[in-house]
């Protein structure tokens, strides 16, 4: 152990001294797109992506800066072209969820502002209107495609209480390209849970966005965790290039 420690300690000190960071040393396992790959998008809903959304004041700057709306659209286009499934995991709150006895800080806040409150259901069972919890209006055209569908909603941040994992496994999917809202909350909880459930996951960082405040940059925080936890982090441009090589 002494040998390992000395080696390791020297490596780190050496890197810092050279102004290098461990980032350059952290392995990049990589991610190969194949026919057992699907795209998963968290919370692409009006409350987060529409200028009329309840949370636009908080997340709008990040969405605009990253080009998140266009980048998510690119993922839909790539998927349709390559016949790849796209699963949307929406966040949604029903009336009866307001009976909950307790919740963490963010979810308590969300309840106060009626974030993602379920609107009228459409005939298809997928909310295709302009309510906050409905799928972003700009993406409704993609929902007509056979390769795109919406799972049951998650209620906290991750897919532990919806059927996302089952839907992936029943389609013999092992690898996920992940995007959506919010980078450090629902998207990151989906990343962590998919990894715990044995999927390989790549995150498309600029196809996500978060709340950015002076003291807390949700997007920057998530970058570090994406890099540590996922198999690879792509930009949308890098992902397009990867699809071109298929």
Residue 142 touches its own copies, criterion: CB under 8 A:
no
Query: Is residue 59 a contact point for its own copies (CB under 8 A)?
Result: no
Residue selected from 171, 237, 241, 246 as contacting its own copies according to rule CB under 8 A: 171
Q: Which of 56, 67, 138, 238 binds its own copies (CB under 8 A)?
A: 56
What lies within 8 Å, CB to CB, of 162 at 6+ separation is: 89, 151, 152, 153, 154
Least gap, CB of 198 to its own copies (angstroms): 2
112 near its own copies, judged by CB under 8 A: yes
Q: How far is the CB of 170 from its own copies (least distance, A)?
A: 4
User: Least CB distance from residue 237 to its own copies, whole Å?
Assistant: 21
The contact mask relative to its own copies for 196-215 (x = CB under 8 A, - = no) is xxxxxx---------x-xxx
Residue 58 binding its own copies, by CB under 8 A: yes
Q: Which residues pair with 200 in a beta bridge?
A: 175
34 part of the interface to its own copies, by CB under 8 A: no
Q: Is 28 in the site for its own copies (CB under 8 A)?
A: yes
Q: Is the Cβ of residue 170 or residue 244 nearer to its own copies in the bound state?
A: 170
Work out how close the CB of 4 gets to its own copies at its nearest, in angstroms, rounded to a whole number: 5
Comparison of 84 and 244: residue with beta carbon closer to its own copies: 84
In terms of CB distance, is 225 or 235 closer to its own copies?
225
């Amino acid at each position: 152990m002494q040998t390992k420690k000395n080696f390791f300690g020297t490596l780190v000190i050496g890197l810092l001294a050279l102004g290098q960071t461990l980032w350059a040393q952290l392995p990049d396992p990589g991610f190969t797109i194949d026919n057992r790959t699907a795209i998963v998008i968290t919370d692409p809903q009006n409350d987060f992506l529409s200028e009329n959304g309840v949370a636009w004041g908080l997340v709008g700057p990040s969405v605009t800066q990253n080009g998140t709306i266009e980048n998510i659209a690119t993922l839909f286009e790539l998927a349709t072209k390559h016949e790849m499934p796209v699963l949307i995991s929406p966040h949604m709150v029903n009336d009866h969820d307001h009976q909950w006895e307790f919740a963490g800080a963010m979810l308590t806040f969300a309840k106060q502002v009626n974030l993602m409150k379920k609107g009228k259901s459409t005939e298809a069972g997928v909310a295709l209107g302009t309510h906050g919890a409905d799928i972003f209006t700009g993406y409704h055209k993609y929902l007509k495609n056979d390769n795109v569908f919406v799972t049951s909603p998650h209620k906290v941040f991750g897919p532990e209480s919806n059927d996302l994992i089952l839907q992936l496994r029943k389609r013999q999917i092992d690898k996920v390209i992940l995007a959506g809202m919010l980078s450090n909350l629902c998207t990151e909880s989906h990343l962590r849970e998919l990894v715990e459930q044995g999927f390989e996951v790549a995150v498309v960082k600029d196809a996500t966005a978060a709340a950015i405040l002076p003291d807390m940059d949700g997007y920057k925080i998530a970058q570090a965790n994406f890099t540590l936890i996922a198999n690879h982090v792509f930009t949308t441009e890098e992902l397009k290039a990867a699809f071109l090589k298929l």
